[in-house]
Chains A and B, each alone.
Chain A
Amino acid sequence: MSNARFQARPATDQTGRPDFISIKNFGFWYGEKKALKSMTLDIPERQVVAFIGPSGCGKSTLLRNLNRMNDLVDGIRHEGDIAIKGQSIYDPGLEVISLRRRVGMVFQKSNPFPKSIYENVVFALRVMGVKNRAVLDEACETSLRKAALWDEVKDRLNDNALGLSGGQMQRLCIARAIANRPEILLMDEPCSALDPIATGKIEELIHELKAQFTIVIVTHSMQQAARVSDRTAFFYLGELIEYDTTEKIFMNPGQAQTEAYISGRFG
């Protein structure tokens, strides 16, 4: 099996902090069920890290722990710690709301609010209490430009966001997530419901956003992981099997399970 077809991108310069997100001995339970076995990994600043693995392997669970979205679920429990820039996200003094303002998230299924495009984009700013129209306008344009959506929607910012196409909606969700300039962007299978052209656009976007944001992306598409990420983590049955540069994972995986998975033998 040759891995040549995966044109892995070379890792970019690691100018940022290498342990921007630091996951240490982190384990996680849904009630009695252990969803994540104790794992440790560091995510460097301004890089794209892809989580891959078969369904139910825990990659989404870990992602949703990074901004504590799992808090909404009943009967959860965790061990170990996750720290962002050295500060634990479980620090009792830390408001979960401020954590989420720092860690943006894009969901698998695009979920624009039933409001205008403009109101969707500035939502995060509005809930932060920003009222200055100029600031909002500016943030809206910047975010939409960054999300490569500005040219398509600039004439109908006051139209309902639900009138957009699937790919546009997902880009709108990205624009919405980056409007208040978070440090980290979590993407939970952002392209799973999109056609190849829209997927390509989003991937382009991830490349561009990397300059500013640390991006963690969960994907089922190994080609996508290979195309967009600098580092890749492979999960299997709640366990972190392997975590390395994308090039390494796809060209020369260290574990047999990883190789089996990326070559399509299971999963």
Chain B
Amino acid sequence: MEENQKQSTEQPPESRFQVSRSTLLIDLWMGRIIRLGGISVVIAVFGMLGFLVSQIFPLFSKAKVESLAPVNFSQTGNVALGEDEYGEMPFTCDTKGNIIFRKAGDSSVTKTWLADFKTATQASDGQNAAPVSIPVTAIKTYPRDGLVLLGLADGSVRELKINYKITFDKNGKRELEPSIDLQYAGKISENNSAILEAWSVKGTEGRLYICRQQKDGHDLLTGRRLIERKGLGGKAKVTVSEPFPIAADVTDLERVLVPSTADSLLVIRKTGEVRVYQNSENTFSLLQSFKPFGDAKNAQIAAAGFIFGNVSVVFQGNQNEEVVWSLYPQKQADGQMLRRWGKIHDCETLAGVGQGIFPAAGNKCYLSVAGGRMQIRNMTNGSIRWEDSAPASPIQQVIFSRNYNRLSLLCEDGKVYRWAITDHHPEASWNTFFGKIWYEGAEGPAYTWQSSSGSDEFEAKYSLVPLIYGTVKGTFYALLFAIPIALLAAVYVSHFLRPEWKSVIKPMMEIMASLPSVVLGFLAGLWLAPLVDTHLIPILCVIGVLAPSALLAGYIWSKLPQPVRRRVGPGWEFAYLFPFIVLCAYGAWQLGPTIESTFFTVKDLASGQNISDFREWWRQSTGLNYDSRNSLVVGFVMGFAVIPIVFTIAEDALSNVPNSLISGSLALGASRWQTVWTVVVPTAVSGILSAVMIGFGRAVGETMIVVMATGNTAVMEANPFNGMRTLSANIAVELPEAAAGETHFRALFLGACCLFALTFIVNTFAETLRQRLRKRYKMN
């Protein structure tokens, strides 16, 4: 006793109250590390968002166009322009057909070629007549092909090929050496009068020459084909067709448009009428005639031009009109679908008289000049890429370089004005991604995703709407399947099942959540889809019978006398329910084929016999498609991926409802179901909502299952027996083949952003709702 007192009165050493240095240091550093970690996470999230935005930002920027120094060709009546690939050495043709090359940098002349075509020396009376120069009467250049076509006064044409030879001098400096070869010389028509205009295009069937001459005061169009057939020996055999008249019925000819496919021809009359002639067996027959600005106005066509791809023409009028006509399938009076010309776009207009439509090479842009202004526009989505004032002098010819990075304008003042274009995504606009667009060849405006094709002239279609639709559709079917099952299972496991069973089932479900989705997708695509395909009706019967049979079991149960019910302990009811449901499901499965043959018998179109096949019935009675890899399969399997997480979180929320509330409710005479429904579920509702949201997030972002279990067709149909393409699957499938920095690549990033926005909006909404519910049912 004494010792104790002694000890207690002794002052303990001061060090007992001191905190050791290491404790303080660890505390300090752990605090810093945790803070660093938290900040890094925030930075990482914002960094990713920033990266996404930086990737998609260029899509919505306009073209950057810089003016370059003009090349001065001096005023010598230059009428046509051509240039090399890099625009280093443009050339012009003057009215006499002389070709002058100049350096783009200092406008110095590098080569001059003088047109001097003589009549062939003819042997008449043994004497040689002195050769006579034939004046050039028509000049046309095809800068992309390096061709110059000259029409002569005697009714013949000369086609010249311009070649640029690249040489390097001693210092390794690059030099261009232009050369001119005569490629074709000959007559196109029998008529010997002067050629007023000439065209030369190379289509699939060979080269087509067309010339315009005058006869008896009328315009006369004549065509001639050069058909080249390459033999096995290698030497090409060229056959020249007989001259054939084109559009002999046309009067008041104003302008002729020849597409580079050489299979049709548009003749524009002074009256504003356009006549389309289609090639058939080396004659051009009238296909259609139309007035681009409508019948009401007698508006003349001021300018027109074929857009790259040769199926669309932009017409410019004198009174602020600009429209696009294109060739697309149209329903005729007799019900046939035929490709005919029709208006697909009404463009924004520049005020003033149209002065020219000049298409770009390689994309759907064109230069529209009117009223002293000029704009580069995209034909498809109507976006204006660039606008500036046009040179004061009238424009003779316009060249867009092949890769759409340079624009050259030859004007009457002898100058070639030039601009450098930086426009990586001319086909991108808000409308392209989210609006209905009438693409060439389509029957109407539509939301289309079609990012690649075999053809170079193909125009990629980047509407994200079908993908968003597919995402929503896939998510909807998955959640439709998963949410009821997961939530009911969570309610059952948390409040009805015996604890020893719960301790087995819960971890099992959690393991299910870790199943790789590629495995599920594999199962869905290779096992479930074929199974559902052949047993659709029995499967639907089984699904349909589950809930009613459970309700029926409950009803029978409630009618059983209390002593019988007492024998089944609480939590063991499933032992009674399970065999009952299995029996009902089995019955429904067996009944399936009978139901199918009773209700879904249709006449097989192939054999003409009656067959009982739901798939055929669906196709015939609804006119909708039936795919083997359809939304139902995706719903099933994606549901399987979603169920475990929704179940786990909802079960936790339901189990966490305080026991005092449950006892309180039971003590007031509520049944277990009443307790769960009126007390437990409302109390846990915010947690249940979180579970649903996490399930939603999983379903929206799910990729592999959708890639493997759907056809990945970007269609917009609510049809449950059709596939879909989701944003995430789209990224997975197409990103490997998209070149970095291209429109396609950035469009995929835009899809990723949409996915992010979709989850963000839905989650924000759900979180707001959850906070409200939590406030309402908050526990103290």
Contact = CB atoms under 8 A, between A and B. Distances in A.
Interface of A: 67, 69, 71-72, 74, 92-95, 97-98, 100-101, 104-105, 107, 109, 111-115, 123-124, 126-128, 160, 162, 173, 176-177, 180
13 contacts: A72-B666, A74-B499, A92-B562, A92-B563, A97-B669, A100-B669, A105-B667, A107-B663, A112-B664, A113-B678, A114-B778, A115-B682, A160-B778
A38 to B, nearest CB: 24
Given A71-B570, A107-B663, 10 more contacts: A93-B562, A100-B668, A111-B658, A111-B663, A113-B679, A114-B682, A114-B779, A115-B777, A127-B668, A128-B669
A160 B774 CA distance: 12
A179 to B, nearest CB: 8
A58 B553 CA distance: 40
A177 B563 contact: no
Interface residues on B, range: 20 to 34
A120 to B, nearest CB: 9
Nearest to B657: A114
A92 B779 CA distance: 37
Contacts of A69: 663, 666-667
Residue in B666, B674, B683, B776 whose Cβ sees the most chain A Cβ within 10 Å: B666
B780 A162 contact: yes
Contacts of B674: 127
Contacts of B658: 111
A266 B666 CA distance: 35
Nearest to B780: A162
Nearest to A166: B780
Contacts of A92: 562-563, 566
Contact of A93 (B563, B678, B679, B682): B563
Nearest to A114: B777
A127 B777 CA distance: 19
B718 interface: no
Nearest to B671: A97
A93 to B, nearest CB: 5
A92 B566 CA distance: 7
A95 B660 contact: no
Contacts of A74: 499
Given A107-B660, A126-B678, A160 B776 contact: yes
A177 B669 CA distance: 10
Interface string B665-687: 11111110010001100110000
Interface string B636-670: 00000000000000000000001011011111111
A111 B664 contact: yes
Contacts of B778: 114, 160, 162
A107 to B, nearest CB: 6
B147 to A, nearest CB: 84
Name, among B562, B668, B780, the residue most crowded by chain A CB atoms within 10 Å (CB to CB). Answer: B668
Contacts of A105: 667
B662 to A, nearest CB: 8
Contacts of A123: 665, 668, 670, 678
A114 B683 contact: yes
Contacts of A162: 778-780
Contacts of B679: 113
A127 B563 contact: no
Contacts of B661: 111, 113-114
A176 B778 CA distance: 19
A112 B658 CA distance: 11
A119 to B, nearest CB: 9
B765 to A, nearest CB: 23
Interface in B616-641: none
A232 B249 CA distance: 123
Contacts of A114: 661, 682-683, 776-779
B667 A127 contact: no
A127 B661 CA distance: 15
A93 B562 CA distance: 6
Contacts of B777: 114-115
Nearest to A105: B667
Nearest to A74: B499
A109 B778 CA distance: 17
Contacts of A112: 664
A124 B665 CA distance: 8
Nearest to B563: A92
Contacts of B563: 92-93
Residue from B499, B667, B682, B683 with most neighbouring chain A CB atoms (10 Å): B667
Interface in B420-449: none
- Sorted nearest first, the 8 A-B pairs with minimum C-beta distance are A101-B669, A111-B660, A105-B667, A114-B777, A127-B670, A111-B664, A124-B668, A100-B669
A127 B669 contact: yes
Contacts of A98: 669
Contacts of A97: 669-671
Nearest to A108: B660
A103 to B, nearest CB: 8
Contacts of B670: 97, 123-124, 127
Contacts of B660: 107, 109, 111
Interface in B577-632: none
A206 B670 CA distance: 24
B664 A107 contact: yes
A113 B665 contact: yes
A177 B668 contact: yes
Contacts of B666: 69, 72, 100
Interface in B748-780: 776-780
A29 B682 CA distance: 35
Contacts of A115: 682, 777
Nearest to B660: A111
A25 to B, nearest CB: 22
A242 B73 CA distance: 127
A71 B661 CA distance: 16
Nearest to A186: B667
A239 B590 CA distance: 63
A200 B780 CA distance: 24
Contact of A124 (B499, B566, B570, B669): B669
A107 B664 CA distance: 8
A97 B660 CA distance: 17
B12 to A, nearest CB: 36
Contacts of B668: 100-101, 104, 123-124, 127, 176-177, 180
Nearest to B562: A93
Nearest to B777: A114
A113 B664 contact: yes
Interface in B680-702: 682-683
B669 A180 contact: yes
Contact of B667 (A100, A109, A128, A160): A100
A71 B682 CA distance: 24
A100 B670 CA distance: 8
Contacts of B671: 97, 127
B688 to A, nearest CB: 14
Contacts of B570: 71
Interface string B729-750: 0000000000000000000000
B568 to A, nearest CB: 13
A194 to B, nearest CB: 15
Nearest to A99: B669
B111 to A, nearest CB: 92
A173 B562 CA distance: 31
A141 to B, nearest CB: 18
B344 to A, nearest CB: 61
Interface in B436-476: none
A137 B682 CA distance: 23
Contacts of B664: 107, 111-113, 173, 176
A106 to B, nearest CB: 9
A98 B499 CA distance: 26
A104 B669 CA distance: 8
Nearest to B670: A127
A127 B562 contact: no
A33 B740 CA distance: 73
Nearest to A92: B563
